[in-house]
Chains A and B, each alone.
Chain A
Amino acid sequence: MILRHRDLEQIALVALRCARVLMQCGSSVRVIHECGALLAGCRGVELLGMRVGYASITITLSRDGNSITRMATVPPPGVNQRLDQAVRTLVREASETCMPVAELSERLDRLMHDVPRYPDWLVVTAVGFACAAFAGLLGADALALPAVAVASGAGQVLRMFLHRRGVNLFVVVTAVALLAAFLGGLGARLSGSFTQELALVSSTLLLVPGVPATNAEMDVVDGYPTLGSARAVSVLMVMVFIAVSIWLAQILLAVRA
């Protein structure tokens, strides 16, 4: 089968789209590379190279002396495991059946709209319980736990509100951490808890970037230290902004560490 330059471009673009969605959903670099290799390999196209950066992905494909390089930008990464798994399943199916590029692109579009999400109320409740559990693990007393659950739930509501308006990640982190820490500390004080400081800190744990932190290390272990380092720096910056907000909340509530 002879592939024209335009055919190579279509393959490169759809591979970039799949890689972009995977990256946004929280996949590691190794997964992105495997995605590119699977989509190219089934068509007899050689994946000459793929560079996965924090904000962009570049792919170079080659076949019969023709080669093409295309790049796509990547929005700030998040975590969406169901969409991540759905895209992986689609890529595997596309690779096994050598699915036409147009069909793959159309099904990817459909997935992005059809993959279900938990309702907001359930996410807010789950985050509240998770942070209260965190507080319990850290040694907060029972009186502080309801305050932590309510404060972190309120923080999650604010996070979703700001996220949907496209507000900068670090502004979101600062605002959410400040609100959650303040409410958590205040609630613990009003309920008579002796672990007000733990409640204040635990209420912000919904923001701890656990997936990027583990991805950073896995990327380095897998041999991609550049993106691993970039992820580690972003994790560090998020933690610095959370700490600044906790510090402000402590000042507002006159809590001594």
Chain B
Amino acid sequence: MIPLLATIFRAASLGALAATGFGVLFNAAPRPLAFCAAGGALALAVRTALLGHGVSLEAATFLAAVTVTLFAAGLCRQRLGSNATAVAVAACIPMVPGAFFARSLLGLFALTAPDVLPLDQSFTDTVVSMLRVVFTVGGIGAGIALPLAVLRRCEF
């Protein structure tokens, strides 16, 4: 239990740092920036906890995105107003599997290399990682869009 809590704390801290950094890059105002940090920590904490209980990466990412969107657009709606969507998006950015996508594309490059061995294994690994990226990105998008559609978000 203690190692899992330590892993969750570490992931939440790094998630908060990444979400804040991207919030600054996106020129978010200081108050929404604090919510970005909280949302990033929440997203990574939920995802890491679910992964620790054997949930798949894709499902854990989807549920984390739903949680963060409910946090931003539901619980903090009064304070965030139309910022809620932007905060939910920034908070979910640390879960975008950019590195895995780059790796899967590199895997495709490797498939065409002259000395690729064994081909079947390389091909399977590449396709599996590509599919995981697609499902994870899909999970993030659906996890943000569906709660917002249900909550009838206030955009103005």
Interface residues of A (CB under 8 A from B): 26, 28, 30-31, 34-35, 38, 79-85, 88, 91-92, 95, 117-118, 122-123, 126-134, 136-138, 156, 198, 201-202, 204-206, 208, 210-211, 213-214, 216-218, 221-222, 239-240, 242-243, 246-247, 250, 257
User: What are 8 of the A-B contact pairs (CB < 8 Å)?
Assistant: A84-B86, A88-B155, A118-B24, A126-B22, A134-B18, A243-B102, A246-B102, A257-B103
A126 near B28: Cβ-Cβ < 8 Å: no
Taking A26-B26, A243-B105, A257-B106 as given, write out 19 further A-B residue pairs in contact, using a Cβ cutoff of 8 Å, ordered by the A residue number.
A31-B156, A38-B156, A79-B25, A81-B90, A88-B155, A88-B156, A126-B22, A126-B23, A130-B18, A134-B18, A198-B99, A210-B93, A218-B144, A218-B148, A222-B145, A222-B149, A243-B102, A247-B106, A257-B110
A249 to chain B, nearest CB (A): 11
CA distance A34 to B96 in the complex (A): 28
B138 near A81: Cβ-Cβ < 8 Å: no
Interface residues of B (CB under 8 A from A): 10-11, 14-15, 17-29, 32, 44, 82-83, 85-86, 89-90, 92-94, 96, 98-99, 101-103, 105-107, 109-110, 137-138, 140-142, 144-146, 148-149, 155-156
A130 near B22: Cβ-Cβ < 8 Å: yes
B156 near A210: Cβ-Cβ < 8 Å: no
B27 near A133: Cβ-Cβ < 8 Å: no
Residues of A contacting B98 with CB < 8 Å? 134, 204-205, 208, 210, 239, 242
A246 near B28: Cβ-Cβ < 8 Å: no
Contact of A217 among B82, B94, B142 (CB under 8 A): B142
B152 to chain A, nearest CB (A): 11
A245 to chain B, nearest CB (A): 9
Query: Given A34-B155, A137-B18 in contact, is the A80-B89 Cβ separation under 8 Å?
Result: no
B98 to chain A, nearest CB (A): 4
B28 near A81: Cβ-Cβ < 8 Å: yes
A214 near B24: Cβ-Cβ < 8 Å: no
Contact of A79 among B14, B27, B146 (CB under 8 A): B27
A31 to chain B, nearest CB (A): 5
Contact of A88 among B82, B101, B144 (CB under 8 A): B82
Contact of B106 among A80, A123, A246 (CB under 8 A): A246
Contact of A83 among B22, B27, B141 (CB under 8 A): B27
Contact of B25 among A38, A82, A127, A213 (CB under 8 A): A127
Residues of B contacting A126 with CB < 8 Å? 20-25
A217 near B138: Cβ-Cβ < 8 Å: yes
CA distance A242 to B102 in the complex (A): 7
A218 near B141: Cβ-Cβ < 8 Å: yes
A185 to chain B, nearest CB (A): 13
Contact of B141 among A92, A204, A217, A250 (CB under 8 A): A217
B82 near A85: Cβ-Cβ < 8 Å: yes
Contact of B94 among A122, A137, A218 (CB under 8 A): A137
Which B residue's beta carbon lies closest to that of A156?
B25
Residues of B contacting A206 with CB < 8 Å? 25
CA distance A80 to B138 in the complex (A): 24
B25 near A137: Cβ-Cβ < 8 Å: no
A211 near B99: Cβ-Cβ < 8 Å: no
Contact of A81 among B18, B44, B83, B145 (CB under 8 A): B83
A133 near B109: Cβ-Cβ < 8 Å: no
A205 near B14: Cβ-Cβ < 8 Å: no
B102 near A92: Cβ-Cβ < 8 Å: no
Residues of A contacting B23 with CB < 8 Å? 81, 126
